[in-house]
Chains A and B, each alone.
Chain A
Amino acid sequence: MKVLLTIVLSLITSNAFSFSLNNTVGAAFSKNTVPVNIADNCTNLGVSSAELLSMVSDAGTMYWNTVSTSRLRITAGSVVSVDSKFYTDKVCTTNSGSCEPNTDLTVASDILITCNGDTTDNFPNAQKTVLAITIPNNISDRTINGALIAINDRSDNIFQDQSRAKMVSVLAHEIGHAVGLGHSPVGDSLMYYTLVPVRDRLGWDDIDGITYLYPREQPFGCGTIEDINNSGKGAPLLFVLLMPFLLIQLLKLRDRFSHSFS
């Protein structure tokens, strides 16, 4: 019995993996399906807007849409025209450790992928190998309304040198940021900070992170985020553990009543 108890206790205190978020409030989109639109302002990526849209679709089906425990579904939106500021302006007004979003580039809804050729703040020479900058720049309380992905469109950008599969994984990584995830410290995860030799699936950190932000609520849930504060952390587990006991007691009671009436 002691052995069994020890095993059960060790299971209850198990540890998992190590994803992070990119905002302090754990914000997420409230809707289940989030379209990703493409701005028609790219000049140096070597791929068309339509091809980018196709890659976004693949980023959804190959990566984020494969998580059965997450309600989030990424879809390809449409090619849109945007203000020229999205190409020329800096994404963050300050960027000393945390980003203060440039309000001129606020995305009203969903996710917008724009090209950006700003070589002063976003992609200066010292950071010309940065592939993109992403920020959910329209957040209300704990809800992301819109997010911006700015792809480095310098003439010497390294996005254009990647294979299509790598481009898809880059877009999937940036979409991960757009929906609220931060980086993972391990290279097996899509949310690792840099490209790895082979990337064609999510890692455990990605799956756990997207499940945390976008938990699925079947069969009766409507897909809302439901975080449990610290005081209620044990409630669901307690319910599960007590369920068989309660069931047995109910059956015993029923048995007792049926015998007393017979």
Chain B
Amino acid sequence: MKSFNLVLLSVLFVVSSNAYSAGIKDSYLGLGSYTLLPGKVQTDENGDTNGIFDLEPYVLGGLEYQVYEDWSLIGEAGLVKPGSGRDPKISKMTYFLLLSGAYNFMDWVFRLGTGISMTRISSDGGTQTLNNGTGTTDFPMPDGASVSQNLITTFGVEYYFHQEMSTRLEGHYFNLASDDAKTLSYTLSFSYHFGNIFSDSKKVRKR
């Protein structure tokens, strides 16, 4: 799957080198919710798991390039706020860069793409005193940061319910070809579309 994603990424970049001549079609900003590992994480001592929808807000922004008629390339960046804020000593942040091919059909846009999802976890060190079974021990906290980056496959469907606004459901598939670490996360978002902000006749909209 890694090679599939690399091929997909390469094709999208090669095609995008000709995309600008076809023209920027749209730019957008949005807000949404990112659901990480739906139903896969234990959340209490009785085996309950996180829900299939977690309200983890994220912001996004992107540019759409019309390649040919109803076909487009979309570059997008997103920044997610995860977690419950249980411990202020450890910070975690997820952000991603995506490149998708898109097909526009009436008020709908269907996307397939790839991208890199990054998870940054950091802490300033120190210790926390925790039970060790027979007493307590001062366990060290991380001192520094590490960034995990995953190549992901994305697929989504977007609906324009207004000329300048749309909603989108998009899946982020991690390790699609792996036997055991294959996971799906998804986003639900609302975007405001500015059209082509580089052109005087910028109002290119759906509908």
Contacts and interface: CB of A to CB of B under 8 A. Distances in A.
A97 B132 CA distance: 10
Contact of A97 (B84, B137, B178): B137
A86 interface: no
Contact of A212 (B40, B121, B131): B121
Nearest to A70: B148
A188 B44 CA distance: 4
Main secondary structure of the interface of B (DSSP, over half): strand
Interface stretch (A39-47, A143-151, A225-233): A225-233
Interface stretch (A76-84, A101-109, A110-118, A243-251): A243-251
Interface string A232-259: 0100110011011001100110110010
B97 to A, nearest CB: 6
B121 A14 contact: no
B91 A228 contact: no
B46 to A, nearest CB: 5
Contacts of A204: 41, 43, 83-84
Contacts of A255: 20, 198
A240 B118 contact: yes
B92 A14 contact: yes
Contact of B80 (A11, A70, A97, A225): A11
Contact of B120 (A26, A217, A230, A237): A237
8 contacts: A20-B139, A21-B142, A26-B144, A196-B46, A198-B46, A219-B6, A227-B145, A228-B122
B59 A68 contact: no
B185 to A, nearest CB: 9
B27 to A, nearest CB: 9
Contacts of A166: none
Nearest to A196: B45
Contact of B87 (A16, A69, A129, A221): A16
Contacts of B2: 218-219
Given A130-B134, A202-B42, A8 B59 contact: yes
Nearest to A60: B180
Nearest to A72: B181
Contacts of A229: 144
Contacts of A218: 2, 116, 149-151
Contacts of A194: 131, 133
B156 interface: no
Contact of A203 (B29, B42, B147): B42
Interface in B167-202: 174-175, 178, 180-183, 198
The 8 closest A-B pairs by CB, nearest first: A16-B92, A198-B47, A18-B87, A182-B139, A215-B148, A20-B139, A68-B174, A196-B45
